[in-house]
Chain A
């Protein structure tokens, strides 16, 4: 019930293409869903986050789509660039506290 399942494990996209990473959860008490980007040797960097009262949030080339009834959310990276090559983590947190439950991560490679 505490798990967040992330797919795919790895993804190769051509430069300019759309990268899509999906996550699913079981615990309906989750109330906050952030995405993080991590480069080798660095800590995760917050990309974008959404709460269940909205179905979509866009920031620049990054969009979160959220389906509350299906308990799924996804990250879309438009116009993917080689500099986007990194590991992406989805996460979820409950209403109270800052405990994040992370997905297993997706290694994205954007080919130029």
Chain B
């Protein structure tokens, strides 16, 4: 089975712009969660989607949003980028909303200049 795929892998944006990241879960998985990883704050939960509904949300500002499509693919959007948004954004997929085993993709490295 193919693993979790994330596109793009690397992205450079300018402060004030917006960005959309994409995640394709493992085939058959219906839950997708997003995490932000930075050296200072570590791994932090952004949100979880299951059956196209947001199930849980972390402590991030409203500039961070996401959605899930009927094929379980998910996108996250960050508007009005700030320098502090530079991070590795990880997507994790799970069979169901859980807690269930979550499998991470390779991440999208976002750099905001």
Residues of A participating in the B interface, judged by any CB pair closer than 8 Å? 31-32, 34, 36, 41-46, 49, 89, 91, 93-105
The reply to whether the CB of B98 lies closer than 8 angstroms to some CB of chain A is yes
Beyond the given pairs A99-B48, A99-B56, A100-B102, 16 more chain A to chain B contacts, judged by CB atoms under 8 angstroms and listed by A's residue number, are: A34-B102, A42-B107, A43-B4, A43-B90, A43-B106, A44-B43, A46-B101, A46-B104, A91-B43, A93-B98, A97-B56, A97-B97, A98-B56, A98-B102, A99-B33, A102-B43
- Evaluate contact between B98 and A43: CB separation under 8 angstroms: no
Given the complex, which residues of A lie within 8 Å of B35, measured CB to CB?
Answer: 100
Residues of B participating in the A interface, judged by any CB pair closer than 8 Å? 4, 31, 33, 35, 42-45, 48, 50, 55-56, 58, 90, 92, 94, 97-107
Which secondary structure dominates chain B's binding surface? strand
- Evaluate contact between B45 and A100: CB separation under 8 angstroms: yes
Q: How far is the CA of A41 from the CA of B101 in the complex (A)?
A: 22
Q: How far is the CA of A41 from the CA of B97 in the complex (A)?
A: 27
Q: A89-B43, A99-B45 in contact; A94/B104 too (CB < 8 A)?
A: no
- Which chain B residue lies CB-closest to A104? B42
